[in-house]
A and B are shown apart, each in its own frame.
Chain A
Amino acid sequence: MAANFWNSTHYRHWLRKVDEVYKQADAMMKKDQSTFKEDEQNNIKVIYSQIISTLAMKSKLRQRVAATAIVYYRRFFARNAVRDHDPRLIAPVALYLAAKAEEHTLAAKIVVAQMADIYQADHPYPYSVIHVYDYEFKLIAALEFDLIIYHPYRPMIQYCADASFHDLVTAAWPILNDSYKSDACLRYPPYLIAIASIYIAGTLRDREMTNWVKKMNIDLQELADIIQYLSALYANPSIIRTSGPQVERINNKLQSHFATKIQNAQSGLAKKPPSSSRPKMSLKLAE
């Protein structure tokens, strides 16, 4: 759908309404504060964005699929609180749905097995394929069925080609990867993130980038905001990894918060009434 970004749901429903999206996201953060401190909330987002990338790599899915999944994940938690929905489940479900939307197939049992494989905590990974199927419905509904996501990779390559910045492609690429550790994908249009990544990549190599940027016919103030936003990721010295004690601490905390809900849900699944009596949701993590 490259021809019409401005008509896309990505632009019309999400970027153009970014203030509304953020108002909701802030409300969710406040709702979570009693359970997860602000820095914990941030760590969870970064860790689970990373975990999505790791899962995608293990399943040999392209970066693009992981990027789409991360946008799904972040859109979901812009509208829902972590205390109500377990990121340990949403992350693999986001990848599962993104794989379908990007014309790949990824079996639910594979994504669960791989999640269990990389999961670090003092307990085993608590979810199964049943939970994945259940949450696929919740996720697609929370996304309002807007499944096509635009990414900055292609525009970045195009801009570099147009300006003969061939050496900057490989330098800008990891900056784009890192942008998915932030909410940049919720906040800014992909083509501006692409320009910002090229600007940063060039500047890091002591190149003069201002003239090029001025010729781009874009809002320079917004570009400056994005450059600052992306650069701030590097200013923070605590680079979060998908392994190590920090991850384990987060997972243990999530487990203690969600354990009873999972247990209740599983006992509910066990004595599921016959289908004729129209059961409600088999898994009730939501309320």
Chain B
Amino acid sequence: MFFNRKQRISEKYAPVGKIGEGTYGLVYKARNIQNQSGNSEAESFVAVKKFKSFKSGDGISPTAIREIKLLRELKNPYIVDLVDVMLDEADKALYLVFDYAEHDLLEMIRCHHNRSAPHAMPMHTVKSLLWQILHGINYLHKNWIIHRDLKPSNILVTGLDKPPNERGCVKIADFGLARLFQSPLRPLTDVDAVVVTIWYRAPELLLGAKHYTKAIDLWAIGCIFAELVTSKPLFQGQEKERKGDDRNPFQSDQIDKIFRILGKPSVERWPGVIDLPHWSQAQTWQNYPCILHDRVRGLAKGSSGYDLLTKLLEYDPDKRITAEDALKHPFFTEEPRPTHIAFVDPNIDPYKSRPVTPLDPKKDIGWAMSATTSGTNGQTPMTRPMPQSAPLFSSAPPPFKRTRINDR
């Protein structure tokens, strides 16, 4: 059975350290206790997402509900696998347990960026990652789901802790903003104004579109494709802060960044643009030539890869390529062919392991501090046993800053 009500989370998973933090809550790396006792093979890990709840709002957070409800229905090799949900009624916490993935695209891209001798990601890896992302998104779209928040940090990639044929494999994660789009009960933008980190946000959204489509995910994939090739974000706009009642201000700098690289769209090329609220403002701006080929030198102008990129970064959402059609693009039938394992050699993982922050007794209350009390098979927990009531200034190990790969 998926879920055993009688079992406590500390009996199944032993926390190892923290791997992420966001407004929704915290993400931990944890060891799967049961798997270990069952066989002598390598230990298996999970990612445990702890949602803040109860105190911060009205019952279980809607983000958690959204993520659970969708992931319970989804099953695809390129979508993160929800293996368990645990409830802690005592501290009103909800834990989502995922299969562990060692990397995310953000870390992998950084690895190729800022080095003494910068080197691009191998084209075979780029193509395989892109192909897998498109597969995962095609599956979502076929199931009437828009992800809405695709960005490098939400795209995980498995490492060497997995069996050889499951390594270097994309796992699309973070469904906190994902939405079923079949006959929404309310216009999608009503519920929460902010959608998709602005660097990956599609131009129709930036110009104020109210009803958007799966095409927004394809724009984000286009941005990610370019970023994989060049190791740096394509459109790095300055985000305008939300002020007062305006929950969704016109992100003019982001639109400007896009226009400067792709050129300003014309009404002939994108007829629907005239209906968008912010177009009246943006259309008066200076025109620029398209310099995309100059920004993405790894893809020669005229190559199939460049052609696919321009089809993903098509202004008009109605003309933008779909995930299904993108998968049929000649880019994927040319050498090097994309593979299920994105690494050049399945036995060599060229990327650094995900940084794991030791547990912090100030923040990591509840299950996360149970590390020392549960059966950890003699493994040394990363923090000292620390009673919850310990004074905050005690000798707890200082939480060290998440170390960036490029700082080393």
Binary A-proximity of B159-194 (CB < 8 A = 1, otherwise 0):
000000000000000000001101111100001000
- Give the contacts of B73-99 with A (CB-CB under 8 A): 73, 75, 85, 87, 89-92, 94
Determine how close the nearest CB of chain B comes to the CB of A101; give it in whole angstroms.
5
**Complex Cα gap A64–B182 (Å):** 13
Of the candidates B3, B89, B144, B183, the one whose C-beta lies within 8 Å of that of A137 is: B89
Confirm or deny: A4 has a beta carbon within 8 angstroms of a beta carbon on chain B: yes
Confirm or deny: A34 has a beta carbon within 8 angstroms of a beta carbon on chain B: no
B60 and A100 contacting across the interface, CB-CB below 8 Å: yes
Confirm or deny: B270 has a beta carbon within 8 angstroms of a beta carbon on chain A: no
**Complex Cα gap A9–B66 (Å):** 15
Determine how close the nearest CB of chain A comes to the CB of B397; give it in whole angstroms.
21
**Complex Cα gap A35–B207 (Å):** 62
Binary B-proximity of A76-97 (CB < 8 A = 1, otherwise 0):
0000000000000000000011
Closest partner residue, chain A, to B65 (CB atom):
A100
Binary A-proximity of B123-167 (CB < 8 A = 1, otherwise 0):
000000000000000000011110000000000000000000000
Confirm or deny: A280 has a beta carbon within 8 angstroms of a beta carbon on chain B: yes
B59 and A136 contacting across the interface, CB-CB below 8 Å: yes
B85 and A1 contacting across the interface, CB-CB below 8 Å: no
Of the candidates A7, A62, A105, the one whose C-beta lies within 8 Å of that of B62 is: A105
Q: Is the interface of B mostly helix, strand, loop or mixed?
A: loop
Chain B contact patch, size range: 35 or more
**Complex Cα gap A7–B85 (Å):** 20
Confirm or deny: A275 has a beta carbon within 8 angstroms of a beta carbon on chain B: yes
**Complex Cα gap A280–B59 (Å):** 18
- Give the contacts of A92-110 with B (CB-CB under 8 A): 96-97, 100-105, 107-108
**Complex Cα gap A154–B180 (Å):** 15
**Complex Cα gap A171–B388 (Å):** 62
**Complex Cα gap A3–B143 (Å):** 6
Binary B-proximity of A139-167 (CB < 8 A = 1, otherwise 0):
01100111110000010000000000000
Contacts of B70 in A (CB 8 A): 148
Confirm or deny: A192 has a beta carbon within 8 angstroms of a beta carbon on chain B: no
Confirm or deny: B106 has a beta carbon within 8 angstroms of a beta carbon on chain A: no
Determine how close the nearest CB of chain B comes to the CB of A151; give it in whole angstroms.
11
**Complex Cα gap A201–B70 (Å):** 34
Given A1-B144, A3-B142, A276-B389: A9 and B72 within 8 A (CB)? yes
Confirm or deny: A27 has a beta carbon within 8 angstroms of a beta carbon on chain B: no
Closest partner residue, chain B, to A280 (CB atom):
B90
